[in-house]
Amino acid sequence: MTPSFGGGAATFHYPSTITLTAPVQWASQIQAVGALGFVIITPKGWSGTAQEGADGSKSVALYPPGGSAHYGPRITLQTTGACVGCAWFGAAPYFSWVREHFARANWGTYHGPVIPGFKLAVDLRVYRASNTQAGYHVNGVAYAPFIANGSGHQEVMFRQAQTILPPGEHSLATLILNNLLPQLENPQR
């Protein structure tokens, strides 16, 4: 995909080949798609949309031919850029320490949704929800590390990737998310 920013095309450099260990049932049915500096594994034939905001936030949605970024099977990836409030609010549903920060920062009590999942590290969670729209399963990864900003203060950054796929495609979701995880932790520009 070639995203555009206010009329000018952005250029990202992708590897010409990637090596991937895939379950036999998916090996001949997948492709790698480059979007906003990320290499995302998708079923063959999928494409989608990618946008980057002026603050550096990124949004990618990949889906099958005739599909949608908002309905049906899809893969989504979101990152926050310089929008600090966006990062805190994006991370809050996944991390109790972020929700607790709301009170300490005098922002009041967080009243939004809480997404259950499994903690892999303080700043890394995986989650799964079944029986969503039309019976699709959602599998995802949420990453919210502290980073030092230019003035030496600690701020949170938020990145999330998720798959919305039919039941029975959990191994495909795992393949996609396992490929994205190191990219969420160490993005290439």
- What is the pLDDT at residue 134? 78
Give the N- to C-terminal CA distance of the chain in Å, as an integer.
15
- What is the pLDDT at residue 8? 57
Enumerate residues 6+ apart whose C-beta is below 8 A from 14. 34, 39
Average pLDDT (154-168) is 89
- What is the pLDDT at residue 112? 87
- What is the pLDDT at residue 4? 47
Q: Report the mean per-residue pLDDT for the chain.
A: 86
How many helices and strands in the chain, by DSSP H and E?
Answer: 4, 13
- pTM of the complete model beyond 0.85: yes
Q: How far is C-alpha 12 from the chain's CA centre?
A: 18
Residue 146: which pLDDT band, with cuts at 50, 70 and 90?
confident
Enumerate residues 6+ apart whose C-beta is below 8 A from 154. 146, 147, 148
Per DSSP, which regions of 36-184 are E strands?
A: 38-43, 47-52, 58-63, 74-79, 118-121, 124-129, 137-143, 146-148, 154-156, 159-165
Residue 187: which pLDDT band, with cuts at 50, 70 and 90?
low
Highest mean predicted confidence (pLDDT) among 16-25, 62-71, 100-109:
62-71
**What does the pLDDT look like over 21-59, one tens digit per residue?**
888 888 899 999 999 999 999 999 999 999 998 888 899
Look up residue 176 and give its two tokens: 């996609």
Q: Which residue has the higher pLDDT, 174 or 150?
A: 174
Q: Which residue has the higher pLDDT, 107 or 52?
A: 52
